[in-house]
Amino acid sequence: MFVDYAGQTVPVVDRNTGEVRDAQIFVAVLGASNATFAEATWDQSLPSWIGSHTRAFSFFGGVTRIVVPDNPLAGVSKACRYEPEINPTYNEMATHYGTVIIPARPGKPKDKAKVENAVLVAERWILAAFRKQTFFSLEELNRQIRLLLDRLNHRPFKKLDGCRWSWLEKIDRPALLPLPTIPYEMGEWKKARVNIDYHVELDRHYYSVPHSLIRQEVRIRFTCKTVEIFFKGNRVASHKRSYEPGKHTTLKEHMPKAHQKYLEWTPSRLISWARKVGDSTATVVETVLESRPHPEQGYRSCLGILRLSKHYGKERLDAACRRALEINALSYKSIKSILENGLDRQRVRPRRSVQPPLHGNIRGNGYYQ
């Protein structure tokens, strides 16, 4: 299967705002029959690229043994004539379907001549028909593409018997691999380093891993529903995806039995370091550690607060912590903001209680009881 995006786009108009947005056209073609698949997506991002592949396989009713793309940023991390680097998610999708990705060589259009021709055919027989038509949704556009696609695939060949679809049934279909029982679920990857609190961060939420992996580099695979953490190719943790920023998802089996044995940092050590800065700093650190369900979840915040002394000095940090205690803003971001704006050098102004003016028409709070 040869895949690429058409050079032309199709404008889609928002009914409510009148905003015009260009839809991208994905094209896939089979090598023997020239059976063609096309669809519109909003962009050429990795989720759109992967989704178009899975829908193309379903459209053809099977999986080809090889997929030949160009070198799009979404699919190929690093283009190379001899050893191109495939995007991990794209490679994972290929493994799920039992196919392999062999990108065309850079600057060698003949490697993907089939799809180059298929793009031209799609532009002439499908996109050209939309020149005087206005679309108001991506779904409406794809319905029209599917109708014209059916006509294209059943259009008789000029010099051969049959059509694209009859050749698909006769030649390509027997050679296709069966579709897997469960369609591929799009997952993205990122690298992360396990912090001293044995958690890794994803979109400002923190997920636990076995405490023995502290300071190790791991890979995170995440979908809209799950988060999986891998170390040296083995899955070491799996969590339900959470979108609460600043919160922790912690499994009890990941927690060490004795933190003094496994962790370099302990609550007592953090508090002791904070006392060397000042009493206010120690109070802030103690409060942060006590406010978390597990003290280890506060290590990251406390270390950040204490390391502010390297840039601003101990006296200013303790003054900032004193101000943070007065206004009850006990977080790393709040204390850093106090220091950045020089508020640690200013006194907190006491809040004035405002008394309502005496007037016959003002009822007062007792009126409603």
Segment 269-298 mean pLDDT: 82
* pLDDT, tens digit (0-9, with 9 covering 90-100), for 18-27: 889 999 999 9
How do the residues of the chain divide into helix, strand and coil, expressed in percent and rounded to 5? 40, 20, 40
pLDDT tens per residue, range 311-352: 899 999 999 999 999 888 888 889 999 999 888 888 766 655
**Helices of type H across 206-360:** 259-262, 267-277, 279-290, 299-307, 309-312, 314-327, 332-340
List of domains in the chain:
2-175 (3.30.420.10), 188-260 (no CATH), 265-345 (no CATH)
- At 170 the pLDDT is 92
pLDDT greater at residue 7 or residue 325: 325
Q: Write the pLDDT tens digit of every residue in 96-144.
A: 999 988 887 665 556 556 667 767 877 777 777 777 788 999 999 999 9
Predicted pLDDT of residue 85: 66
CA 343, chain centre distance (Å) = 37
Confidence of residue 175 (pLDDT cuts 50, 70, 90): very high
Stated pTM of the model:
0.57
- Minimal CA–CA distance to 4: which of 117, 165, 139? 117
